[in-house]
Amino acid sequence: MKKIFLAALCITFFMSCKQEKQQAAELVVWEPFDEGSELTEQANHENPRMRYKLINSKISDKNDIWRAYDSDLADFSEEKYEALKPLIIEQDIPAIQAAIRDKKLSHEELVLFYIYRIRKYESDNQLSLNAVISLNPDVVEEARKLDKEPFTDGREYSIYGMPVLVKDNIGTSNMYTTAGAAILAENKAKDAFIVDRLQENGALILGKANLSEWAYYFCSGCPVGYSAIGGQTLNPYGRKVFESGGSSSGSGVATAANYAIATVGTETSGSILSPSSQNSVVGLKPTIGLLSRTGIVPISSTLDTPGPMTKNVIDNAIFLNAMTGKDNADAASVASDKDYLKDLKSASLKGKRLGVIKQLLQDTIYAETVDKLRGFGAEIIEFDPPQVAMNGFLTLLNIDMKYDLPAYLKDHASENIDVAYVKDVVEYNLKDTLVRAPYGQQLFDGIVADSTTREDFEAIKNTLNTNGKHFFDVPMEEHQLDAVLSINNYHAGFAAVAKYPCLTVPMGYKPTGEPISLTFIGKPFTEDALLKLGYAYEKETGARKAPENYQ
């Protein structure tokens, strides 16, 4: 009997050791590499902003993103990943919710699928996109808790249980909020208002997306999508070929590459529209005030807004429903009782009056799209927009950030962040520019040097707002337009200062394979109308295609 017991013990010990060795062998580890040859190749890129000085962060170890999940992923095999792909990749929220309802998929499997996928691609130096900065250490357990709850009616069209990434200038209490900057590497902020709203509606915060550092108001002429913390974000449609767009670079890339159901971006001027269009996803820049900015690292309290970035319009409407809410801490915040899903599926382009900017008709894809819209029943009105001045735009951003960033650092940054003003950040970066500011910090220098008075600032702000409104109001009122049609972020600056909403929807691909999008611009708080236009257009065209190497 003793011999049998010893034999069994030895077998158990042997099997245990073997299992541990197998698990150890399965651990996926990102290996740093010499970027020299790639950087030499990039030095000849036709776009000066893509002549990179580095690709991966000199501060962060990419393995830290997923290391905490190694044990959770030990039983999540490649076979299981492949089996789940048809249920998740490129599927909209209603389809994924239906799979959960029908018990074909659990919330835990959904979360592990995305973590596995992020690790799979981001650990491969030939495919990595540097789209993610951190993952939520609690998200697997949060998903398991949801799996214990019954599926309730109406959930198919909700954000409940859906894993989302938020741009890393948006506060999260259990992950650092860095804005991509070295000085904020250990910023333990509280949840932003919109994060609270998402969680109240049952969303799973999967992690934080990379971004252009300080929301791309830091260096001048530097690569979009670069941050000291996250490295250089790369475009899945043309890795190191096409720009990722910015500043919500990681949000656009992660959405396109199916790293999450959806993402949250932020925009001051073009920072949702640009990465959405560059990565063939749907991006909504809402009217200023529709979504709260509390707890978001700012550029401009005048122009900043968060917004949803999704693979399709219906997900965008679902996402927007979950984010709205009056925030008494944000002076611009307004309440909204709209259901952005209402009548969405019955939307049509028939009879809609769409304004087409004549100069843009030189773009072949835009011109072809306009012809298609006519065929779908829309009334097309061509016009030349009024000429308006945008003088003082940078001054507006300079003075806003000069005051808004210190207010954030005082009220929202954790006590271990030992800077109070923009000049303090500049001085900190000068101590190690190769790591902290390899492309310089010219815009921060400009903020420090700007001596514009409050009176002049208010005058500039009011003039820009008037001019921006004039740019759109003249044609919209003269021709009774439902929306103005633009390309990508071409008219983002005018919409920014007017505080008007924009929705960009994939329009197609250039001969090079670079994505291009159609942007609908409307009057304040007409997001519901823009979403209907976008949905009807998307339904007729289905222009989005998943990036070839990330399917």
pLDDT of 27 reads 82
Integer Cα distance of 243 and 224 in angstroms: 7
Integer Cα distance of 513 and 354 in angstroms: 27
Return the bridge partners of 285, or none: 502
Helix (H, G, I), strand (E, B) or coil at 12: helix
Q: Which residue is it, tokens 């029908």?
A: 102
Integer Cα distance of 8 and 263 in angstroms: 51
Total Cβ atoms within 10 A of residue 270: 25
Query: How many CA atoms does the CB half-sphere of 405 hold within 13 Å?
Result: 26
Give me the active site residues, please: 167, 247, 271
Domains and CATH numbers, the chain: 53-550 (3.90.1300.10)
- pLDDT digits over 6-34, tens only? 444 444 444 444 444 344 436 899 999 99
Sheet strands (E) in 12-109: none
Phi-psi region of 130 (alpha: psi -120 to 50; beta: other; left: phi over 0): left
Integer Cα distance of 40 and 43 in angstroms: 5
- DSSP character string of 13-28: HHHHHHHHHHHHHH--
Per-residue confidence of the chain (551 residues) as pLDDT tens digits? 444 444 444 444 444 444 443 444 368 999 999 999 999 999 999 999 999 999 999 999 999 999 999 999 999 999 999 999 999 999 999 999 999 999 999 999 999 999 999 999 999 999 999 999 999 999 999 999 999 999 998 899 999 999 999 999 999 999 999 999 999 999 999 999 999 999 999 999 999 999 999 999 999 999 999 999 999 999 999 999 999 999 999 999 999 999 999 999 999 999 999 999 999 999 999 999 999 999 999 999 999 999 999 999 999 999 999 999 999 999 999 999 999 999 999 999 999 999 999 999 999 999 999 999 999 999 999 999 999 999 999 999 999 999 999 999 999 999 999 999 999 999 999 999 999 999 999 999 999 999 999 999 999 999 999 999 999 999 999 999 999 999 999 999 999 999 999 999 999 999 999 999 999 999 999 999 999 999 999 999 999 999 999 99
Is omega for the bond preceding 247 within 30 degrees of 0, making it cis? yes
Phi, psi of 235 (to 5 degrees): -85, 125
Integer Cα distance of 174 and 207 in angstroms: 10
Integer Cα distance of 513 and 498 in angstroms: 33
Phi, psi of 15 (to 5 degrees): -65, -35
By residue count, the chain amounts to 551
Q: Which amino acid is at 207?
A: G
User: From edge to edge, which strands make up the β-sheet containing 502-509?
Assistant: 132-135, 204-209, 163-167, 262-267, 305-310, 282-285, 502-509, 515-521, 483-487, 353-357, 379-383
Sheet strands (E) in 425-514: 483-487, 502-509
Integer Cα distance of 110 and 468 in angstroms: 43
pLDDT of 154 reads 87
Phi-psi region of 243 (alpha: psi -120 to 50; beta: other; left: phi over 0): beta
Q: Which amino acid is at 135?
A: L
Please state, in angstroms and as integers, the Cα–Cα distance from residue 11 to each residue in 1, 24, 261, following that order: 15, 20, 44
- Find all residues with CB under 8 Å of 375, minimum gap 6, and list them: none
Return the bridge partners of 264, or none: 166, 308
**How far is Cα of residue 209 from the mean position of the Cα atoms in its chain?**
7
Q: Using CB atoms within 10 Å of the CB of residue 453, give its burial: 0 to 12 exposed, 13 to 18 middle, 19+ buried.
A: exposed
Contact 257, 130 (CB under 8 A): no
